[in-house]
Chains A and B, each alone.
Chain A
Amino acid sequence: QVQLQESGPGLVQPSQTLSLTCSVSGDSISSGGYYWNWIRQYPGKGLEWIGYIHYRGSTYHNPSLKSRATISVDTSKNQFSLKLKSVTAADTAVYYCARGGTIQSWWSLGYWGQGNLVTVSS
């Protein structure tokens, strides 16, 4: 059974960098050719896709984030991470990691973590 678990601080100060890690169990990030995603959900419940990474290093981010997001992978730890720089209160959300399909279906998010609430406030 594939399981994902987000970890990271629940409070980040404005202008700082938000850092989250997603630990994967029950599957190897470096096998299967799956795409590993970050999604956030605002307090008003809207969902926004942040980006994905493939274990070979290819990544793609939502252009709406204006290059503030960086997604990386550590296959030795079976984890992938998100860094979002220069955060503001508008970045306050529950952040989810999720496993997508392979290259022909990376947008189908079949496995999700439980979510990590991040509040941006001083």
Chain B
Amino acid sequence: QSALTQPASVSGSPGQSITISCTGTSSDVGGYNSVSWYQQHPGKAPKLMIYDVTNRPSGVSSRFSGSKSGGTASLTISGLQAEDDADYYCSSYTTSSTLVFGGGTKVTVL
């Protein structure tokens, strides 16, 4: 199972909105509404930000939102803040009953 494709880096200024894409196939992203997004700060464990494409766990800011179109999922961060500077990973359930991750995107707040 190949990793999902994410851009290596995305940047934006405070207050702006950015979008991170996560591209897969019909065997993963395109076949299920089972995409999650994780935020990871240096030296820390990943934190679940979005699950099942659009749902936010309790305590996660409403500035984070998810969507999906065909085989590509997206994470949008609105009102970018300094604390959003981190790595972001997508994941998806697959037809092999496994979980596959994206390669990660470094978000830089300018």
Binding site for B on A (CB under 8 A): 37, 45-49, 60, 62-64, 96, 101, 105, 107-110, 112-115
15 pairs, A vs B, C-beta closer than 8 Å: A37-B99, A47-B104, A49-B98, A96-B46, A105-B51, A107-B34, A107-B91, A107-B93, A108-B52, A109-B46, A109-B91, A112-B46, A113-B45, A114-B44, A114-B45
Majority DSSP secondary structure for residues of A touching B: loop
Q: In the complex the two chains form, what is the Cα distance from A110 to B59 in whole Å?
A: 12
Q: In the complex the two chains form, what is the Cα distance from A60 to B93 in whole Å?
A: 13
Contact B48 A47 (CB under 8 A): no
- Chain B residues with CB below 8 A from A63, complex form: 96, 98
Interface size on B, residues (CB 8 A): 26
Contact B103 A46 (CB under 8 A): yes
- Chain B residues with CB below 8 A from A115, complex form: 45
Other-chain residue from A46, A62, A96 in contact with B98 (beta carbon distance below 8 A): A62
Query: How far, in Å, is A112 (CB) from chain B's closest CB?
Result: 4
Binding site for A on B (CB under 8 A): 1, 3, 34, 36, 38, 44-48, 51-52, 57, 87, 89, 91-93, 96-101, 103-104
Contact B104 A107 (CB under 8 A): no
- Chain A residues with CB below 8 A from B104, complex form: 45-47
- 9 nearest A-B pairs in the assembled complex, by CB-CB distance: A112-B45, A108-B51, A49-B99, A47-B101, A107-B93, A107-B99, A110-B48, A108-B36, A45-B104
Contact B45 A48 (CB under 8 A): no
